[in-house]
C-alpha cells in the first residue's frame, strides 16, 4: 500500500539523551565547538600555571574568568565605542549621588520650566501677547456696552411710540 506524499522522512530514528546519560557524561551527543575551546583553554591555563610564577597565574586566572566570543580571544581590540558592562552590587550603590540627565531629558525639563514661567507671566498680564489680548477684550467690552446702550434706547423709543399711538 502507498504511504502517501512526503512520508519518507526519517523521524523515527532520533535518539535523545536521558538525564542519567547526561549526568554520567556518556551522552552520544557530539561536543560543540565551545566545549572543545573551553577544554583547550583549560589545558593551556593548567600548563601555564605549572610553568609560571604565582603572580602570572593570578593575572591569567582573572583573564580566564572573562569569556570571549568568536575572535575576541585571539585579537586584542581597543574599540572606544565598546561599552563594557558594569555590574554594580546593591551594597555598593551610592544613594546620595545624583544621576546626570541626558541632553534630551535636560532640554525637555528646560522647555517645561520655560513654558510654566511664560504661563505665569501670561496670567499676570506681563507678556506682549497678554497685553494684546487684554486690549482686544477691552475693545470688545466697549463695543458690547455700546450695542447694549443702543438696544435700550431703541427699546425705549419703541415703547414711547406705542404709548403715543394708544393715546
Q: Output the average pLDDT for the chain.
A: 78
CA distance 103 to 16: 55
User: C-alpha grid cell for residue 51?
Assistant: 610553568
pLDDT at 4: 66
Residue 47 has pLDDT above 80, yes or no: no
Closest among 48, 73, 70, 74 to 61, alpha carbons compared: 48
User: C-alpha grid cell for residue 84?
Assistant: 563594557
pLDDT at 54: 46
pLDDT in tens, 75-88: 776 777 777 777 77
pLDDT in tens, 127-158: 888 899 999 999 999 999 999 999 999 999 99
pTM of the model: 0.32
20 phi, psi to nearest 5 deg: -65, -40
Half-sphere exposure of 51 (CA within 13 A, CB side): 7
55 band by pLDDT with thresholds 50, 70 and 90: very low
pLDDT at 107: 95
**Burial (CB count within 10 angstroms: exposed 0-12, middle 13-18, buried 19+), residue 52:** middle
Amino acid at each position: 500500500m502507498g504511504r502517501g506524499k512526503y512520508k519518507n522522512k526519517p523521524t523515527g530514528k532520533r535518539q535523545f539523551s536521558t538525564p542519567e546519560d547526561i549526568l554520567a557524561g556518556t551522552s552520544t551527543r557530539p561536543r560543540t565547538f565551545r566545549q572543545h575551546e573551553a577544554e583547550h583553554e583549560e589545558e593551556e591555563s593548567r600548563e601555564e600555571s605549572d610553568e609560571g610564577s604565582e603572580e602570572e597565574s593570578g593575572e591569567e586566572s582573572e583573564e580566564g574568568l572573562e569569556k570571549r566570543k568568536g575572535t575576541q580571544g585571539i585579537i586584542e581590540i581597543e574599540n572606544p565605542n565598546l561599552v563594557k558592562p558594569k555590574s554594580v552590587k546593591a551594597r555598593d550603590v551610592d544613594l546620595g549621588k545624583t544621576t546626570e540627565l541626558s541632553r534630551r531629558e535636560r532640554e525637555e525639563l528646560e522647555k517645561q520650566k520655560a513654558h510654566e514661567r511664560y504661563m505665569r507671566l501670561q496670567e499676570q498680564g506681563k507678556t506682549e501677547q497678554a497685553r494684546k489680548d487684554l486690549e482686544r477684550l477691552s475693545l470688545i467690552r466697549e463695543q458690547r456696552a455700546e450695542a447694549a446702550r443702543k438696544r435700550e434706547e431703541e427699546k425705549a423709543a419703541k415703547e414711547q411710540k406705542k404709548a403715543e399711538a394708544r393715546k
